Structure 1
């Protein structure tokens, strides 16, 4: 059953499938990927084979889910799309030539996965000319799944298949906003930036997908990222960004511009602000002070 019915601004990369059809198949893939991650999460520590890299740890679970998702999506789309995933990316500034590019993080929040906080997620996005048009974010440990399509809104899909459209809420005073902050990545610059915001209540969560889900669920209102020696990557942001925007929120750079993906450098440098939207400009102004 196709649940997305609003106008979609771009065509599909496949002649025999609409974007809504592709999203339905992507939802199914993400559900089976969640089962795989859960099996590793509940397995013995020896199964994880943790490898510490400069950008963070990688486990056999990351690689298994990456292969599962790539096999399924490539079987559907073939050479009509490019593929950019955290586990297959080779360091270097290069841009995939295709208009349509899948951007995938098979396990966002690997440290939280290892530490058993439950705050890890699967990110899958399809971009068209550098902007996301289709997204799925699955949070296995809470059996939550969010699906979004450009012009078609964001939907929550429960484990038993119930589908509910989601819109972010507002109505809070600026000083009462809750800032969702990282558990593991808190540079000195980010700490200083957060301290100058007009709202000081914080909720600490791992994965970026889980952070943005907290905004959708009205447990938080604002997320701020500030790069230092490293920055969030395309695969960290593409799916959560569309998920928030299609639910009525905002996700921009400090100057108010939209993010772009598959630009050569996968790092999203600078200050990025995601919010429920109501006080977005005021937050941008505060970050410029």
Structure 2
């Protein structure tokens, strides 16, 4: 489907996009605009988008690209796509503007509505999370400092760590919640966890880092009862899946209805992310 050479180049593309973002991050003018939904847009979003599109268009495979900051084709055209790249050039623009470092570059490969490969790059820490349906999920630190001859050598390097990293301790649970989008439904869900598990630790994080924390095993669950779009979750979803976790509809009590991608409406339903073995 996608060669190891292309997979490695996707990771390089995410790093290059992160470098473009960091040039703006260190400046004094983000050139903030407001999109039609009142969410912020910066010059960094645009530079990252352009970098990613250029990188993906240079791959051997020729798949369509659906990016948050690109033009969005109608469903009549999109529904014909068997495989495509789903991109959020700068996930966590609000965190970027706050300069708290909790923003990411997200690139996912979707096949028949499911994320089969995903890259979440964290520019501030130079860390990449890779989710691969065939090989599992990995966290690679200081990725731009290494010289890798292949995708295999990257994930098997000394800097690469197979996920999850942390073993869950029985009788404890950690939930991660959105820093920018709290909700009464989230509080109600956390109260339910407390009834079931007793004490529940709650951590906050921005962007798709929340999904990566669950994939790592640093958190056990991430409830999301607030709006998100498909490009917000696809790459992180792949990372969670590769680490044995689930990203499922919040209303699905059996926990087996996973989020779908390339829907007519690109808005996600409310969902819950569970770490490996918890659901």
**Runs of 5+ in structure 1 lacking a partner?**
1-10, 13-17, 281-289
1:202 Cα offset (Å):
0.7
With over 3 angstroms needed to count, the CA separation of the structure-2 counterparts of 1:71 and 1:82, relative to structure 1, is same
Partner residue in 2 for 1:215: 214
Q: Tell me, in whole angstroms, the C-alpha distance in 2 between the residues paired with 1:214 and 1:24.
A: 23
Q: Tell me, in whole angstroms, the C-alpha distance in 1 between the residues paired with 2:57 and 2:38.
A: 27
Matched, 1:167 2:156: no
1:91 Cα offset (Å):
8.6
Aligned-partner SS, 1:141: coil
Deviations 1:99-127 (A, max 9, x none): 11100001000000000110000000011
Alignment match of 2:7 (pick from 23, 33, 37)? 23
Q: Tell me, in whole angstroms, the C-alpha distance in 1 between the residues paired with 2:68 and 2:20.
A: 17
CA contact (8 A) 2:168 2:217 kept: no
Alignment match of 2:174 (pick from 155, 164, 178)? 178
Paired residues for 1:227-238 under 5 Å: 227=226, 231-238=227-234
Partner residue in 1 for 2:19: 35
With over 3 angstroms needed to count, the CA separation of the structure-2 counterparts of 1:24 and 1:189, relative to structure 1, is same
Alignment match of 1:195 (pick from 191, 195, 203)? 191
Aligned-partner SS, 1:76: coil
Partner residue in 2 for 1:87: 69
Partner residue in 2 for 1:126: 109
**Given the two structures, how large is their TM-score scaled by the length of structure 1?**
0.82
CA contact (8 A) 1:110 1:120 kept: yes
1:217 Cα offset (Å):
3.7
Aligned-partner SS, 2:276: coil
Q: Tell me, in whole angstroms, the C-alpha distance in 2 between the residues paired with 1:276 and 1:55.
A: 33
Bigger CA drift: 142-151 or 213-222? 213-222
CA contact (8 A) 2:246 2:258 kept: no
Matched, 1:267 2:263: no
CA contact (8 A) 2:163 2:215 kept: yes
Q: Tell me, in whole angstroms, the C-alpha distance in 1 between the residues paired with 2:81 and 2:217.
A: 37
Partner residue in 2 for 1:250: 246
* Displacement over 4 Å in runs of 4+: 91-95
With over 3 angstroms needed to count, the CA separation of the structure-2 counterparts of 1:269 and 1:95, relative to structure 1, is farther
**Runs of 5+ in structure 2 lacking a partner?**
147-156
Aligned-partner SS, 1:117: coil
With over 3 angstroms needed to count, the CA separation of the structure-2 counterparts of 1:218 and 1:55, relative to structure 1, is farther
Q: Tell me, in whole angstroms, the C-alpha distance in 2 between the residues paired with 1:109 and 1:91.
A: 24
Deviations 1:6-40 (A, max 9, x none): xxxxx34xxxxx2x222111011111111111111
Aligned-partner SS, 1:107: strand
**Given the two structures, how large is their TM-score scaled by the length of structure 2?**
0.84
Two-structure CA RMSD over aligned residues (Å): 2.0
Partner residue in 1 for 2:154: none
CA contact (8 A) 1:108 1:120 kept: yes
1:222 Cα offset (Å):
1.1
Count of matched residue positions in the alignment of Structure 1 and Structure 2: 255
Aligned-partner SS, 2:181: coil
